[in-house]
């Protein structure tokens, strides 16, 4: 369960991603001269993730409770940005020795343990490869702690915010076909049908403070 108790840190399932060309035996994310030693292809991959991040949440953060974790103050990745080492950004470039080229990778930080890893990896890689195909630039890395910025400062940097509820993530799904492309039309339709039903079941139990963890969530995700 991503957030069993209100006011305490939640549980994430950060995903580390890389791309390798096995014919050339090279890490496609590595560049000795790039920012944080990553390549232009890696930057495009990150661009794809950021472009589709809001829709991806419906798969990577798939429950009502997931969005109780994705709130400021607990090192959860709320902001759609990227950087090296920065734990306030959605995509982080883990530090590695430049001599060890195979270690070049990125960390995508919004998935949680209730996601289906097969669906999550499928959608995440589809988004990243879409970034490579379309050469989507991720913008400049945000090296400052985004939690310390106000809304105006975030807007100036072009930093967007992830969905704040499962319903909002499902609405983003409708505006972005990345999940349907990745999963196929039939699977995607069944998935969104189940998740909309889950949201309807939760609505009668919704608290005044939307971040409060309800008994309904504990019974559904923790004790079931």
Domain boundaries, the chain: 15-150+158-222
- Return mean pLDDT, the chain: 93
More confident residue, 7 or 15: 15
Based on the number of CB atoms within 10 Å of its own CB, is 26 exposed (0-12), middle (13-18) or buried (19 or more)?
Answer: middle
Q: Can you tell me the distance from the alpha carbon of 115 to that of 97, in angstroms, rounded to the nearest whole number?
A: 31
Confidence of residue 123 (pLDDT cuts 50, 70, 90): very high
Q: Which two tokens stand for residue 55?
A: 């829709």
Its sign, for the CA torsion 115, 119, 124, 130, is: negative
Question: What value does the mean pLDDT take over residues 61-73?
Answer: 93
Its sign, for the CA torsion 31, 32, 35, 36, is: positive
Its sign, for the CA torsion 137, 142, 146, 152, is: negative
In the CATH hierarchy, which top-level class contains the domain 15-150+158-222?
alpha beta
Q: Can you tell me the distance from the alpha carbon of 180 to that of 185, in angstroms, rounded to the nearest whole number?
A: 5
- What was the pLDDT predicted at 90? 94
* Contact predicate 49/128, CB 8 Å: yes
- What was the pLDDT predicted at 185? 94
Nearest to 170 by CA among 154, 189, 184: 189
Q: Can you tell me the distance from the alpha carbon of 194 to that of 215, in angstroms, rounded to the nearest whole number?
A: 21
């Amino acid at each position: 369960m991503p957030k069993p108790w209100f006011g305490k840190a939640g549980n994430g399932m950060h995903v580390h991603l890389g791309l390798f060309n096995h014919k050339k035996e090279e890490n496609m994310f590595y560049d000795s001269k790039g920012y944080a030693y990553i390549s232009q292809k890696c930057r495009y991959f990150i661009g794809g993730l950021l472009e589709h991040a809001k829709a991806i949440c419906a798969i990577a953060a798939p429950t009502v409770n997931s969005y109780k974790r994705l709130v400021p103050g607990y090192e959860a990745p709320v902001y759609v940005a990227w950087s090296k080492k920065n734990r306030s950004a959605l995509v982080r470039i883990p530090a590695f020795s430049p001599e060890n080229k195979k270690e070049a990778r990125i960390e995508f930080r919004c998935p949680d343990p209730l996601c289906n890893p097969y669906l999550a990896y499928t959608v995440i890689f589809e988004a990243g490869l879409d970034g490579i195909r379309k050469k989507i630039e991720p913008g400049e890395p945000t090296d400052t702690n985004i939690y310390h910025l106000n809304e105006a400062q975030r807007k100036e940097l072009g930093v967007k915010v992830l969905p704040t509820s499962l319903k909002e993530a499902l609405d983003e799904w409708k505006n972005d076909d990345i999940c349907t492309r990745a999963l196929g039309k039939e699977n995607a339709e069944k998935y969104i049908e189940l998740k909309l039903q889950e949201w309807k079941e939760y609505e009668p139990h919704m608290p005044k403070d939307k971040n409060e963890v309800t008994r309904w969530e504990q019974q559904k995700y923790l004790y079931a």
